[in-house]
Structure 1
């Protein structure tokens, strides 16, 4: 199984596509700004190159980790020391990959694992931070919802794109 760099880039970019819709004033943008205590004037003062550039780097880092979460075969590859050692692996590994190499490699299965990751990883992190920052439940729901959707899409793209 080869590393799909294009799937990782596409998954990282998906965070921008969803973000442009999710944080649009007609969707959750106005509510999010109000709950965050943030104004349009404040957002216009931000360094957009820095914000979007670093956001893509961080989204890429998340997407880079997702194969280990959504592709079951990554565990088997990790056990032999990585894809470079596949040719010299024991016959049991080669037999396993021959039998199960593409098992559960679907967009639907990746979406399931991505969604579970969003619910059990992103949501608690956002809510813990939100509680200590004394943010509203609306704020936490908007933020967590965004990441649940993003991780679902990332998981789908990365697992299903072979």
Structure 2
């Protein structure tokens, strides 16, 4: 199973694109700023190159785990020891991959699993942090919603094109 690394690079950009839209003042940006007690001046502080650069690196890290979540064949590859050992796999592995190597490799399927990752992983993480930080439910749902949409799009790209 070969991975299209261009698809992973493209999926990682999704966090920035969705974030630009999601946190725009005309969408959820004004509410998000109010829930964080931010002003426009607060948001102008800090190195945007550092913020966007690290966001992209962290997003690349997410793509690696989303491969396993959205592409079910990666589990079969793991069962034979990973890509370095594919040449030594038994003939039954080749037969399995011939029959099922492209099953469920669609944008729609990846988006479903990406969304489920947001719902069952990102929402609880954001929710737990938000509760301990004494943040509002608006804050929690704005961030969790962002991650559900973002992971759905990332999962779709990875499953459909990687």
Q: TM-score range by the shorter chain?
A: over 0.9
**Residue matched to 2:48:** 48
**Residue matched to 1:88:** 88
Query: Can you give the 5+ residue segments of structure 2 that lack an aligned partner in the other structure?
Result: none
Point out 4+ residue stretches in structure 1 off by more than 4 angstroms. Answer: none
Task: Return the offset for 1:46.
Answer: 1.6
Instruction: Tell me the TM-score normalised to structure 2 length.
Output: 0.97
Separation (CA, whole Å) in 2 of partners of 1:121 and 1:143: 12
**Residue matched to 2:67:** 67
Aligned pair count? 162
Task: Return the offset for 1:47.
Answer: 1.3
Query: Can you give the 5+ residue segments of structure 1 that lack an aligned partner in the other structure?
Result: none
Select between 136-145 and 37-46 the one with higher mean Cα deviation. 37-46
Task: Return the offset for 1:84.
Answer: 2.5
Root-mean-square deviation (Å): 0.8
**Residue matched to 1:106:** 106
**Residue matched to 1:4:** 4
Residue 76 of structure 2 aligns to a residue whose secondary structure is helix
**Residue matched to 2:152:** 152
Residue 135 of structure 1 aligns to a residue whose secondary structure is coil
Separation (CA, whole Å) in 1 of partners of 2:65 and 2:12: 11
Separation (CA, whole Å) in 2 of partners of 1:50 and 1:88: 43
